[in-house]
Structure formats: structure tokens, C-alpha cells
Structure 1
């Protein structure tokens, strides 16, 4: 495994207004981490982050602690915050687990009530308004999928799914950062899921979900898996 000590360049815009210094720095760091090479570990140095982000070290430290609880970094004393690599194998295993849980949940929520469909519609509208905010867009994506899993009514699976989604946020950010076409495709696929739910046909709803997750795999640069489909993945 390669380890890189990051030299900051201005590839990610510096934080702008909107929220506390910690929140703004947290969002900036989250987006920056998403743009790092996936196959190598990277150390983030607190003082360098503060300089590049144009803030003091206190909000940087607080943001890094928050990111550590979410699994984005590992804080190593006297060295900095380590961003671990994300292997293709990890992407596959996380997505396989997601598919199993979401497919089961999707079939459980059909027929979907009007209140639940209204909730998903509201999330679609919110997500469309975040098309220029990659972090907010992916957070809303997580809320959309999480709502389906929670609606299925199994709290054990819902908790496990949330842990999976934390691991997948970095993957999801990487898939959309710098690609407006991917934003639009996600919105269209989410709308197709809601439309399928409205038909009351669990098979159609599950197919819409499977198409979306396969598209996500392709965006994460695993086209051979996306092309075969989840049904051909061993254990899926």
C-alpha cells in the first residue's frame, strides 16, 4: 500500500459562508477527501489543512474528529489524519451488502403509502436543489435510500445499513464530483424508483433499484460488475 503525504493544491474550492467554521471546514475536507487517489493512503496535516482552507486549526481539528467517527480518517498521534485507501474489493463488498438490504427493503415497502411516497418526493426536490453541492447531494442521496430501508421496519438492518452508508459516502462523492451528468442521472434513477413504487409492483420497484445500483457501480469504475448485474455476483 502506498502512503502519500498530501501537498495541497487548490483543486477544491476554499470554504465559503454557510454554517459554523467547523461545519464549513468539515464540508470542505469531505469534498477534498473524495478527490484523493482511491488506491493509496494519504496523511492530512492539520496545519496544512488550516492554511489551505483559510481557517484556524481548531475547526480543522474538530472537523477531523467528526470525520474520524464517520470512518473517513484515522487520527494517528504526531502524524496526522490518515485517509485509508478504498480498494475495488471494498467497493464491491459494500455495494453487494447494500443491494441485499435495499432489495429486501424495497419489496417490503410495496405497496407504499401516500405519506411515504410524499417523503421520497420531497427528498427528490431537495436533492435537485443540491446539484451544485456534492456533499449535500450525497447526504440527501443517503437520506433517500435510508428512508426506504427504515420504512421496511427492521431496526437491526436499518442500523447495519447506516454503517454501510458511512463507508460508501467517500465512494459516492468520488462518483459525482466534477461530473454534472452523474448528478442528473442519479436524480432520474431516483425518480424512476419512486415511479415504480407507485405502481404497487414489488418486482418493478426492485428492478428500478437494481438498475440504479448497477449504474452506481459503473460510476465507481467497476464496469465489469455493473455490466453483469448483481444477480451474477457470487453471494448476491
Structure 2
């Protein structure tokens, strides 16, 4: 019984290591080019066996990061500029509305976000964990707004955001520090209770993400999200 349990733990650990290796590797691939990965190639590069590679690839397929093609391997699809624009524009609309809802009324939110910023800073040397924490930061704001329909829609964008976020962190030398500073600015604005200031901080953060991906910012009108001025969605 103990041997079986120990075997399962080692297998899970190998899968997790391979999963994280794959995410880091995929982050470094050219965003606008498709690539194929093979179980054998990944196993050799990651220093593991093919079984955890297969399991990690299935996990990534479930997240929408890769597409497994029988007898060929796992295909990492390209991410077009138009897809980035569409996904980030949707993020901007949702996050603008949500941060305006939570800023004046949600108690304890700033403290919860402060803890996530501190945790994210501790993860600055681990791009995959850093992006996971980044997503938790934004998800917390969206969920605390209390609109389950918007929260579910926002979560549906998650798969597309993973590789974009990893690519943004990997492609800019000082991006980690910039993200932390921008998150701190969002927390400060929420703590102030000024909804307009908080919405502006979120917009500035998302616009800088698009700039990191070498794409122009998209300007929407805040009236779509309940505001009164332009909102930069990214």
C-alpha cells in the first residue's frame, strides 16, 4: 500500500515538473508561429519519462494551450494579433466594470490583493507561478464584484490568457517589476475608494501589457462598462 502511494506521489511530482517545464518552454516560443512537440523530445529535454510528458500534455490540452494530434505530437497553435486584441479587449470591459463595483463597497479586498502582490513578488523568479498568481489577482477583483455571469465569462478567457501572459513576462526584461508596481497602484486606488481612479489604474496596467506584446492599445468608451470616460482595454 505504501509503495503504491509513494509511486503515485512520484508520478504526480514528475507530471508537475514536466507540466511546469512545458509551460516555460511554450512561453518562449514565437507567439505568431505554430510548433509541434513530441513526447520523446520533451522527455529528453525535461529529463523525465514519456508517461508524465503524456499526462502533462493532456493537462495542457484541457487548458487550451496545446492541441494533441494523433501520431504527430502536440501542436502549439499560433496566437494572432487579432486574437490578442479580442481577448484583451474583453478583459478590459469586464475588469473595468468589476473594479468600479468593488472599489467603494467591498471590505477587505485591498488587504487580500496586498497579500497576492506580496506572494507574487516572492515568485518573481518563477514565470509560471508568477502568472498563476497574476491571474489570481485579477480573478479576485472580478469575483468580488458579485456577478457570476461575468465571472464565468472571464474564466472562459483563462486558457487564452495563459500563454499571452507568459510570453509578456518572458519577452520584457523588467516586466515582472512593472507588473508588481502596476498591481500595487491598483490596490492603492481601490483602498482610496475612488472608483474612477481604480478603473484608470486597471486600464493603464492592461495597456502596458499590450505594449509589451508590441500591440497598440484599444480604446473603448467607459459608457459600455458603466463609466463616463475612455477606457483603454488590453
Question: Shorter-chain-normalised TM-score: which range?
Answer: 0.7 to 0.9
Q: What is residue 113 of structure 2 aligned with on the other side?
A: 120
The structural deviation recorded for 1:156 is 1.4
Q: What is residue 177 of structure 1 aligned with on the other side?
A: 170
SS in 2 for 1:71: coil
Query: Structure 1 residues 41 and 178 mapped into 2: Cα distance closer, same or farther (>3 Å)?
Result: closer
Query: Structure 1 residues 211 and 23 mapped into 2: Cα distance closer, same or farther (>3 Å)?
Result: same
TM-score (norm 2): 0.87
Two-structure CA RMSD over aligned residues (Å): 2.1
* Count of matched residue pairs: 216
In the alignment, the residues of structure 2 paired with residue 112 and residue 181 of structure 1 have an alpha-carbon distance, to the nearest angstrom, of: 34
Q: What is residue 132 of structure 2 aligned with on the other side?
A: 139
CA deviation digits over 1:107-166, x for unaligned, max 9? 110215442211101100000001100000000000000000000001111111112122
SS in 2 for 1:67: helix
Matched, 1:212 2:201: no
**Residues 92 and 232, structure 2, Cα contact 8 Å, conserved in 1:** no
Q: What is residue 44 of structure 1 aligned with on the other side?
A: 37
In the alignment, the residues of structure 2 paired with residue 36 and residue 77 of structure 1 have an alpha-carbon distance, to the nearest angstrom, of: 22
What pairs up with 1:93-112 in 2 under 5 angstroms? 93-112=86-105
CA deviation digits over 1:32-90, x for unaligned, max 9? 01111112211101111001110000000000000001010001111110100000000
TM-score (norm 1): 0.86
Show structure 1 runs of 5+ residues with no match.
1-18
**Residues 143 and 151, structure 2, Cα contact 8 Å, conserved in 1:** yes
